[in-house]
Amino acid sequence: MVAQVAIVVFESSSLTLKLKHVERKADGSFQYRRRIPKPLQKHYSEKTFFVRSMGRSIDKIQELSVGLTEKLDRDWSALKGGEPPILDLNTPFASRVAPLHISCGKDLPIQTALSLTSSLSLYLGLHPKGTQKKFREDNERVVKALTDRIGDLALASITRSHAEDYRDNALKSQSTSTVRRNLHALTAIVNKARKEKQLQILNPFEGLGIVGEGEDGAKRVNRR
């Protein structure tokens, strides 16, 4: 294992500032370079993660390098657990990093912390029927039932287990056809967010099975 060396980015008679993964370039500016752990290199096209331009401001370099190191630690921990990396665009750190050119042969896939209710607003705003009262209220009711059950989570945090729990709870009071219709609505909302925001996430509601689907409707018909 190669030891990480902290370089001196600023030094005076009273202060020495050392930062890991930061390198001074020939033009006097700094870049961030960190080797990607071998088990995670399959997620990238190169073996090293770069932010190629961090400028010359010592305060900015310190803030970005520390924040980026913490972010990569979280992302790589998530990837090791099979989850996508998440960047909350509401954080001050994200607003500073977003404009930078981040390169690793290709852009790092970053997941935004887009919530269920934000995704619903996006969906209704772009759907041709989004201004129709019944369509809007039907979708709002479906999302409210889900958020009442699991909370207003970020899309990247919703798992298949969440979707299964929602389905199983809904089946206690709704027909299989109603539950299927609601799952279709949730699938559409998540897929619209994935497309519009280019989110690299799976849709946990897509293709979710329902045991005995349609059988309850057939029983009602036979009783008539």
**What confidence score (pLDDT) does residue 16 get?**
54
**What confidence score (pLDDT) does residue 27 get?**
83
**What confidence score (pLDDT) does residue 218 get?**
52
Every domain range in the chain assigned CATH 1.10.150: 116-214
**Long-range Cβ contact pairs of 65-74 (< 8 A, separation 24 or more):** 65/19, 65/20, 65/21, 65/22, 65/32, 66/19, 67/93, 67/96, 67/97, 68/21, 68/32, 68/97, 69/20, 69/21, 69/34, 71/97, 72/34
**What confidence score (pLDDT) does residue 36 get?**
86
**What confidence score (pLDDT) does residue 107 get?**
39
pLDDT averaged per 10 residues, the chain (length 224): 42 58 83 85 75 73 78 80 54 39 39 78 95 96 94 86 94 95 97 88 92 74 50
**What confidence score (pLDDT) does residue 137 get?**
97
Q: Could you tell me which CATH number the domain at 116-214 has? A: 1.10.150
Question: Is the whole-model pTM more than 0.85?
Answer: no
